[in-house]
Amino acid sequence: MKPQENQAPVDRSRLLPEYRTLLEEIDALGGPALETLSPQEARADSEVRLALLWGAKDEVAGIENLEIPNDEMKLKARLYRRSDARRTILFFHGGGWMVGSIETHDGPVRTLCNATRANVLSIEYRKAPEAPFPAALEDAEVALLWLRAKGEALGLDAESLILAGDSAGASICASLAIRARDLEIPLAGQVLVYPATDLAGTTASRAEFSNGFSLQQSTMIWFAENYLSGGTPPSDPRVSPLLTADLSNLAPTLLITADHDPLRDEGRAYAQRLIAAGNDVCYEEWQGTIHGFFIMDRAGKTARKLIGHIGEWAESLWKRHDDAERGGD
C-alpha cells in the first residue's frame, strides 16, 4: 500500500531485499487504501491482491470443498489431503477479520499441507462488518467441534489437532485455544503467525511501523472498528487474548513475529505471558520481514522457509505427543 503523501520517509534499510523490492513495487503501483473502499470493494480487491502474492502452487494429494453446518447457515471449508496421513491442522486465514478467504490463502495452505505431512482444513469464517465479533470466533468453535465429531469418518485425527493461522486468523486461533482449554478439548498445539493479541493497547512497533511496511495504521484501525462494530470493547479478552487473566495449561505454541510489523510487540508480549504461565512455547522473531510474509512466496524464498520450519515444528510436536501417549500406556 502506497504511503500517504507528506509523511516522513520510512527506513527500509534493514529489510530483506525481497521485501524492500516488494514494497517499492507496491508504492509504484499506488491504488486506494483499503479503508477508503466499502467493505465489499475491499474484499473484492483483496481477493485479487492477496492471491497474487503467492507464486506457483504446490500439488497436494487431494482437495475437497466441504460445508460445515452452523445453525441456519453453512461454513465453507477446504480440506487439503496429504496421501494417507491422519494428522490434521485446522487453519484460519488472515485479513483483518474483514477480507481474505480460503482462496487468497490457497497457495500457502497447499505448501503447509506438504511441509507438515498432514491434512489441513481451511475455514471460511464470517467477516465484519456484516458479521462482527463474536461471529468469527463462534464459527471457529463450530469448526473445531465439527472436526472432532466428524474427523474419524473423514479419516482425520482430531485428537492431536494443531490450530494454525496468520494475523487475524492467528488471533482467532489464540482465542480458540483458550476456549478449547476451558471446554477441556485437547489440542496438540497452536501456530500463531504474527497474531493480533491486544486491540486495546498501543505499542512502540505500532507507532514505528505505522506506514510503509505492508500493514498501515489507518487500515488496522478500520479493521478493528468494523470487527468490534457490534459493541464489544477492545479490552474484551476474547478479542485481545493478551488481556486474558489466566493463560495457563494451553497447548504447546509456535509463535512467529516479523521484526518490521506493527503487531510485533503484542506478539512478543503474548509469547512472554504464555511462557510465564508455564506453557511450552517456541517464540521466534524473523529478521528483515514484514507483516504478511507468510503469504508472500512471489517476493522470495522466505515464505516457504517459514512454512517449512512450521512443518518441522509440527512433526517434532506430534512425535513428542506420540511418545507421551505410548509412555502413558
Could you tell me what percent of the chain has a pLDDT over 70? Answer: 97
| pLDDT value at residue 7 | 57
Alpha-helical segments (H) within 134-245: 135-150, 168-182, 204-208, 217-227
Does 124 score more than 50 pLDDT?
yes
Burial zone of 158 (CB within 10 Å; 0-12 exposed, 13-18 middle, 19+ buried): buried
Does 102 score more than 60 pLDDT?
yes
Total-model pTM: 0.95
Structure-block grid coordinates of residue 127: 467477516
Q: How confident is the model at residue 84 (pLDDT cuts 50, 70, 90)?
A: confident
In tens, the pLDDT along 19-62 reads: 999 999 999 988 899 999 999 999 999 999 999 999 999 999 99
| pLDDT value at residue 328 | 58
Catalytic residues: 167, 261, 291
- Distance CA(256)–CA(54), nearest Å, equals 19
| pLDDT value at residue 3 | 43
Q: Contact at 8 Å (CB) between 105 and 95?
A: no
